[in-house]
Structure 1
Amino acid sequence: MKIVVKIALFCITLIIISCKNQTGYVLEDNTIVACIGDSITYGSKQGYVEYLQKYADKNKSNKITFLNWGKNSETITGLTENDHPGPRPFLFDRIDSLLKQTPKPDVVTFCYGMNCGIYGLPSEELFQRFRNGLTQFLDIMKGHEIDVVLITPPPLALKTAIKHGREMISTGNYGYKNPYENYNDEVIKEFKKIVLEIEHPAILTRIDINTPLIQNIDKAYGKDPIHPNSFGNMVIAETMSKVLLEEE
C-alpha cells in the first residue's frame, strides 16, 4: 500500500513540474535580467522594469536584479517615418556596447513592435523585416549564451486616447503623431503573432502582455495611446512577475 502511495505522489509531483514548465519559467536566485526595448520599456525609469524590481525585492528569496536597457523611439526594423525628428534609433547600432557592460545579464527580456511599423500600413515586407530583426537579436543572444524572454508588444490604444480627448489628424502621412487607424489590428497583432510563434534555441519563454492590457485598456491608458500609464505598467509587471518571479 505504501508503495502505491509513493508512486501516486511521484506521479503528482511530475504533473506539477510539467505544468510549471508549460506555464512559465521561474528565475533562479542571483539572476541578472536586462530588459531591452523602446520607450515603453524605458518608461522614464519609472515603468514596468522598476515595478518588477520592487516585486522581486519584496520576495527576499528571489535576489533578482532587473536592468533597464530601454531606449526611446527605438526599432528592430531600422525604419523611420517622415515626421519623426531625425532617424529612429536602431537596436543593432548599440547592442554590442550594451553587451560589453557589466554586470553581464543572464537573461534578457525583449519588448519591441510599437515603433517597428512606424505607425503605418501593414505589408509582408514589413513583417519580414520584423522577423529578420528578431532572429538577428536571438542569434546574438545565443552567441553570448544569454537566455531570452520574449514579450509581446503592447496594444496601440487609439480608441481610449480619443475618449480622453486626443485629436486624430486626417492625413495619410502616418507616423507616431498620426497612426494608421487600424495599426493595432493589422500591424501590432501580426508582430505579436510573430513573437509568439517564432522558434529559436535562445528563447527561454514568452509572455503575453498585450492581452491583459487590452482587458484593462480604459484604466491602463490615457490620452497617450502608445505608452501605458502607471496602472498599465503595473499590469505589465504583474503579468511578467507571475512567470518570472517565484511567489512568497
Structure 2
Amino acid sequence: MGIRFTRSWVVLLIGCLVAPPLRAETLSTAFEQLGIETEPLEFHEFSGVQFKLNGVTAYVVEPKEWASGKPWIWRARFWGHEPELDLALLKRGYAVAYCDVQNLFGSPQAVARWNEFYAVAQKLQLHPKPILEGMSRGGLIVFNWAKANPQCVSAVYGDNPVCDIRTWPAKYSPDDWKRCLAAYELTESQASEFQGNPIDGLQPLADADVPVYLVLGEDDRVVPIEQNGLELARRYQALGGTVRTWRKPGQGHHPHGLHPVTPLLNELLIASPRDELDPLPLEMLTAKQRILVLGDSITYSGQYVSHLATWAKQTHQMPAERFLNVGVPSETVSGLSEPGHAGGKFPRPDLHERLARVLDHTKPDLILACYGMNDGIYQSFDSERFQAYQAGLTKLKQAADERSVNIVFFTPPVYDAHQQAEQLEYEGVMHCYASWLIAQHHEQGWHVIDLHFAMQRQLDANRASDPQFTWQSDSVHPNDAGHRAMAAAVIHGFAPEFDPAELDSPTYRAQFAETHETLKTIQQSKLEATGHRRPNIPGYRPEK
C-alpha cells in the first residue's frame, strides 16, 4: 500500500508561527543557543554555517546586512549550481538555506524532513514565508512541501522542475525510479495511478494565492516540459493560481537558471511578503493647516498632489492653499549624484541642503515626503547607496521629530523599464527601497503610505490585457493617468473606502484644473523664498 498525502501533511504542526526571538548577533551564536553544533561555511563572498539536522546536511548562508523581516530563499537539491539568483538575493538582504533530501523524491519523508528544518528556521527568526527554489528533481520537494504548507510560502520557483515522477525518473533513470518507488512505498502498478505528484492537489496552494515562477528549456528531453512544468502551469491556472513562465527556445534540461536573472529576481522581490500597512487617521490630514510636500521632479510636476488637494477640498472642505508643494527636480534625500548628471552641468541637489530653510519658512504641521526614484541614481543595486537612502530618510524623520511635526512617507513610484533588459535592474532597486520603507512602519512606527506596490499591481493588471501599457514613457515620470494612480494610493492610505471613480466627475475635473494652477503659484513662491541648488527652477541659488 503506497503512502498518500493526507490532511495531516497539509499544515505544519508549528502553524507557520514565529518562534520567540533569539538574542544572537550571528548565525553561529544563534545555533549555539539552540544547542546545535555548526561549522563555518563560505559561499562566494558570503558566510554561513553548515550543520546536521538529525544526521542530514543543512546549510544557512546569511547576507552581510539583513533585509527587514529576515527573508530567505530555500533551495532544494544541487547546492551552489547556477547561483546567480541566490547571490542576487543575498546582496539584497535575503538568506539562502538548504536541507538535503537526496533520494527522497519529494515523498512524505522529504516533506517531514523539511518540516523539521522549517522549525529550526523559525527559531532562527527567519521569515515565516520563504521563497522555494527547485531545479530539476528539486521541483518534487518544493511543490509537495508548498502544497502541504501553503500558508508558509511566499513564492515557488521551478527550473525545469520534475512535476510528475511517471515522466522522470520512471522513463529516464531506472535506478532512480527504483529509489523513488521505495521512497513512496509504491509498486509499479500503484505508481501509474499515483495522485501525489506536484501536478496533483494544487488547490490549497492556489487558495493561498502563492505565485509560481517557471523557467523552462523548451527542448528538455530529460524532464519534458509538456508533462511537467507546462502541465503544472495549466492545472494551476485552471484553479485560479498565478503562473509566470520564461521559456528558453533551443535549450534543453541544462543549463539551469534564467540569464540574465533580473526579470525573475524582480518578480520574486514583488512576491516577497510584506505586512499590510494600516490606514492612517483621516484627521492626520484633514485637521492640518500647513501641509508641506517634499519630493523630486515627480512631486514638482505636482499632479498627484493637486489631486489629493482637490479631493480633500471637495470631500472635507479643506482649502487647497493648505498644501505647500516644494518638490525639486533631480533632488535626492540621500545626497547622492551619479557622475556626469545632467550632462555634467550640475550634481543632483540634496534635500538636506535646504531642509532647515524650508521648515523655518513654512512652519508645517504635517509633512508628506516622496523620495527614492533618484536615490539609486539609476544604477544597479548597491548596499552603500541603499544605506545612504536609509540614512537620508532617517535624518528627515529626525528633523520632523525635533519640531514635533508628523511626517508621512510615500514609497517611491514604480520605475517602468518597459521590459528592456538593460533597465530591468532598476525596477528591482525600487522594489527594495519601497519594501524597506514599508518595514519602517512596522519596526519603527513610521507613518507610511505605499504608492510603489499599489502602482505595480495596477500596472501588472493593465499589462495583462495590453503588454505595451505604461504610465511612464521615459521609465520615470508618470503621465496624467500615472499621477491619478499615485493620488488614488495616497488617498486610500487615509480613506480606505475611497473609490477612484470619484476623480472622474466633470465637477471634480474642473476643480482639479483650478487647484493645480493655485498650487503651482504657491509652489513658485515657496521655492523662491527658501531656495535650492537646482538650476532652471524658480528659487535657484548657486553654491557659493
Contact 1:220 1:231 in 2 (8 A): no
Residue of structure 1 equivalent to 2:432: 190
Distance 1:54 1:97 in 2: 27
Distance 1:62 1:151 in 2: 21
Identity %: 31
Residue of structure 2 equivalent to 1:133: 392
1:32 to 290, 295, 310: 290
Residue of structure 2 equivalent to 1:74: 331
Unaligned stretches of 5+ residues in structure 2: 1-276, 463-468, 503-544
Runs (4+) of structure 1 exceeding 6 A deviation are none
The alpha-carbon deviation at position 30 of structure 1 amounts to 4.2
Unaligned stretches of 5+ residues in structure 1: 1-20, 163-167, 171-179
The alpha-carbon deviation at position 61 of structure 1 amounts to 4.1
The alpha-carbon deviation at position 234 of structure 1 amounts to 0.7
| Correspondence 1:212 to 2:466 | no
TM superposition score normalised by structure 2: 0.36
Distance 1:145 1:30 in 2: 13
Any residues of structure 2 matched to 1:141-152 within 5 Å, and which?
A: 141-152=400-411
Any residues of structure 2 matched to 1:102-121 within 5 Å, and which?
A: 102=362, 104-121=363-380
Contact 2:411 2:434 in 1 (8 A): yes
Residue of structure 2 equivalent to 1:12: none
Contact 2:279 2:494 in 1 (8 A): no
Contact 1:29 1:63 in 2 (8 A): no
Query: What amino acid is aligned across from residue 224 of structure 1 in structure 2?
Result: D
Contact 1:30 1:63 in 2 (8 A): no
1:91 to 351, 367, 371: 351
Distance 2:458 2:438 in 1: 21
Tell me the C-alpha RMSD between the 2 structures.
2.4
Shift in CA distance, 69/244, structure 1 to aligned 2, threshold 3 Å: farther
Query: What amino acid is aligned across from residue 307 of structure 2 in structure 1?
Result: Y
Distance 2:316 2:384 in 1: 47
- Relative CO higher for 1 or 2, CA cutoff 8 Å, sep ≥ 6? 1
Post-superposition Cα deviations, 1:14-54, rounded to whole Å, max 9, x if no partner, equal xxxxxxx93222124344221111111111x4x10111111
Secondary structure of 1:76 counterpart: coil
Larger radius of gyration: 2
Distance 2:453 2:436 in 1: 15
Contact 1:34 1:66 in 2 (8 A): yes
Any residues of structure 2 matched to 1:174-185 within 5 Å, and which?
A: 180-185=423-428
Deviates most, 149-158 or 191-200:
191-200
Aligned residues: 206
Residue of structure 2 equivalent to 1:173: none
Residue of structure 1 equivalent to 2:516: none
Contact 1:75 1:91 in 2 (8 A): yes
Shift in CA distance, 90/133, structure 1 to aligned 2, threshold 3 Å: same
Shift in CA distance, 41/190, structure 1 to aligned 2, threshold 3 Å: same
Contact 1:29 1:61 in 2 (8 A): no
1:224 to 474, 499, 516: 474
Residue of structure 2 equivalent to 1:52: 308
Secondary structure of 1:50 counterpart: helix
Query: What amino acid is aligned across from residue 425 of structure 2 in structure 1?
Result: N
Contact 1:138 1:200 in 2 (8 A): no
Residue of structure 1 equivalent to 2:361: 101
Shift in CA distance, 75/238, structure 1 to aligned 2, threshold 3 Å: same
Distance 2:385 2:288 in 1: 38
Shift in CA distance, 29/62, structure 1 to aligned 2, threshold 3 Å: farther
TM superposition score normalised by structure 1: 0.75
